[in-house]
Amino acid sequence: MVFPINVIRRKFRKVFLSDISPSSTVARLERSWSIRKTISKIENHKFTFTDLQYLLDFVIICFVFFVVEQPGTLVKLSIGVLFTFALLIPITSQFFFPFLPIATWLLLFYSCRFIPASWRPPIWVRVLPSLETILYGDNLSNVLAGKNSPVLDILAWIPYGLVHFGAPFVCSALIFLFASPGTLPVFARSFGYMNLIGVAIQLFFPCSPPWYENLYGLVPATYDVKGSPGGLARVDQILGLDLYTSSFTASPVVFGAFPSLHSGCATLEVLFMSFVFPRLTPVLNGYVLWIWWSTMYLTHHYFIDLIGGALLSISVFYLVSRNYLPAVQGDKSSRWAYDYIQLANEPPRMKARLTEEFTKSAEGGFSSLLETSLASSPNDSSSSDWEIKTLADTDEFSRAFGNAGKSTSMKEKSPFE
């Protein structure tokens, strides 16, 4: 086994590390295990409006803790303690802080099964099919699902039941390897908050999906109704499994038709991947159309649900791309080739070199590091009206914060960086 590992290492170095700059630190990851380092960062952190994201996460997690009945209190406390340590240890916090919005979304989604029906609003059964008819002249889901076959079932199952669940991991790996350092935590937080907003909308505006109309008509719905796999039941029969029938029947969110998070996830993934790999945009757009067709064919969403999910993702991506997303530099073959980071909407002359601390935070470290000021590129001899920080200043951590606001050119740092 030694020989293949060495071969893999050489291949990796040849492909990804061949053009690395010896003096570059922007792609370096945090390797410290000292909790004191994180505590020091907290003490020196200048809190801003964007830190309210953590208050929101904390409130939702507390709600989940008291609502969820299984697992028990001891297990929930143990999970909370372990996750807290993961946030405090620098080597793990760089990954778990960007993951925090995703964890909050998953916990809220899981807790929906325990929320009492008396706490929930009435279920809207007629609004989506009515809007579908008004806007498009017919129920597009029923039109597409009117004729089905085993071939079409498998073609719909591939994006909806397989690719959808693996795509976030594939996108994350590609972004980490090829995009500018700092892009992956922006994607992670965007993905988490987009889904969190989507589940919140589904909780406060519960709507029935097409399969409910096919099974029960437009009669009023109650929260006692179990979920349905829709067209995926035929896939279970083809595969000889009881995978989707049992999982969708026990779904925590039965009436979460609007917005479609299948559409939202696909759209957000395609927007980020098109940003990193613009030449693949036509193929990536084809994937969105493919998953749109599959969701309607399998009677899980109306077309208006897909538009709602797409608009939610477009809004999130527009926000982060205008303010927090690092630019892709076409002459760089991988993340390790970057020697400076530049925001996507910055003027080309504003090439900013990151300090070592900011670089580590850009890979997902503690949010306070996101307040670090960017330093002017050596190629830019013009003076700036904000205090310049270079690699020589990295040992003075406390002086690396709070200077961004001195210039209208520098944007307020966000939870997405």
315-319, 323-327, 399-403: least confidently modelled range: 399-403
Whether 30 has a pLDDT exceeding 90, the answer reads no
CA angle 240, 246, 251 (to 5 degrees): 145
Confidence of residue 339 (pLDDT cuts 50, 70, 90): confident
Q: Return the percentage of the chain with pLDDT > 70, whole number.
A: 77
As a whole number, mean pLDDT of residues 37-47 equals: 88
Whether 370 has a pLDDT exceeding 80, the answer reads no
The residues near 61 (Cβ < 8 Å, ≥ 6 apart) are 80, 104, 107
Confidence of residue 51 (pLDDT cuts 50, 70, 90): confident
In this structure, is residue 417 part of a structural domain?
A: no
In this structure, is residue 135 part of a structural domain?
A: yes
Please tell me whether residues 259 and 387 are part of one structural domain. Answer: no
Between CA 168 and CA 150 the distance in angstroms is 27
Q: Return the percentage of the chain with pLDDT > 90, whole number.
A: 59
Whether 384 has a pLDDT exceeding 90, the answer reads no
Q: Total structural domains in the chain?
A: 2
Whether 351 has a pLDDT exceeding 50, the answer reads no
In this structure, is residue 81 part of a structural domain?
A: no
Look up the domain containing 294 and give its range. 122-323
Please tell me whether residues 258 and 401 are part of one structural domain. Answer: no
The residues near 73 (Cβ < 8 Å, ≥ 6 apart) are none
Please tell me whether residues 315 and 346 are part of one structural domain. Answer: no
In this structure, is residue 223 part of a structural domain?
A: yes
The residues near 91 (Cβ < 8 Å, ≥ 6 apart) are 29, 30, 31, 32, 33
Between CA 94 and CA 391 the distance in angstroms is 20
Please tell me whether residues 353 and 240 are part of one structural domain. Answer: no
In this structure, is residue 253 part of a structural domain?
A: yes
Tally of residues, the chain: 417
Whether 290 has a pLDDT exceeding 80, the answer reads yes
Residue 216 sits in a domain whose CATH number is 1.20.144
Q: What are phi and psi of 372, to 5 degrees?
A: -60, 135
Q: Which residues pair with 207 in a beta bridge?
A: 124, 256
In this structure, is residue 373 part of a structural domain?
A: yes
Alpha-carbon torsion, ordered 195, 199, 204, 209, to 10 deg: 110
Least Cα distance to 63 among 147, 139, 133, 119 occurs for 119
Contact 140, 296 (CB under 8 A): yes
Contact 91, 177 (CB under 8 A): no
Please tell me whether residues 384 and 273 are part of one structural domain. Answer: no
Place of tokens 């988490």: 192
Last residue of a domain, one of 293, 323, 353: 323
pLDDT reported for residue 23? 62
Extract the tokens encoding 402: 């709070």
CA angle 89, 272, 337 (to 5 degrees): 65
User: Quick one: how far is CA 344 from the chain centroid?
Assistant: 19
Between CA 141 and CA 208 the distance in angstroms is 13
Alpha helices (H) in 179-302, listed in sequence order: 183-204, 210-216, 232-239, 244-249, 261-276, 281-297
The residues near 192 (Cβ < 8 Å, ≥ 6 apart) are 98, 99, 100, 101, 102, 103, 104, 105
Contact 117, 223 (CB under 8 A): yes
Please tell me whether residues 294 and 367 are part of one structural domain. Answer: no
Task: Tally Cβ neighbours within 10 Å of residue 222.
Answer: 10
In this structure, is residue 291 part of a structural domain?
A: yes
Q: Which residues pair with 124 in a beta bridge?
A: 207
| Helix, strand, coil percentages, rounded to 5, for the chain | 60, 5, 35
Whether 256 has a pLDDT exceeding 90, the answer reads yes
Between CA 246 and CA 223 the distance in angstroms is 18
The residues near 151 (Cβ < 8 Å, ≥ 6 apart) are none
Please tell me whether residues 263 and 354 are part of one structural domain. Answer: no
Please tell me whether residues 300 and 351 are part of one structural domain. Answer: no
Q: Which helix (DSSP H) or strand (DSSP E) does residue 376 occupy?
A: strand 375-376
DSSP 130-152: HHHHHHHSS-HHHHHHSS--HHH
Please tell me whether residues 240 and 366 are part of one structural domain. Answer: no
The residues near 179 (Cβ < 8 Å, ≥ 6 apart) are 276, 326, 328, 335
Would residue 123 be called left, alpha or beta, if left means φ above 0 and alpha means ψ between -120 and 50 degrees?
Answer: beta
In this structure, is residue 155 part of a structural domain?
A: yes
107-121, 153-167, 399-413: least confidently modelled range: 399-413
Whether 13 has a pLDDT exceeding 70, the answer reads no
Please tell me whether residues 369 and 298 are part of one structural domain. Answer: no
Q: Which residues pair with 353 in a beta bridge?
A: 375
Q: Which helix (DSSP H) or strand (DSSP E) does residue 375 occupy?
A: strand 375-376
Please tell me whether residues 313 and 372 are part of one structural domain. Answer: no
pLDDT reported for residue 288? 97
Give the chain's largest Cα–Cα span: 70
Whether 388 has a pLDDT exceeding 60, the answer reads no
Please tell me whether residues 144 and 240 are part of one structural domain. Answer: yes
Extract the tokens encoding 242: 């009881």
Last residue of a domain, one of 323, 351, 375: 323
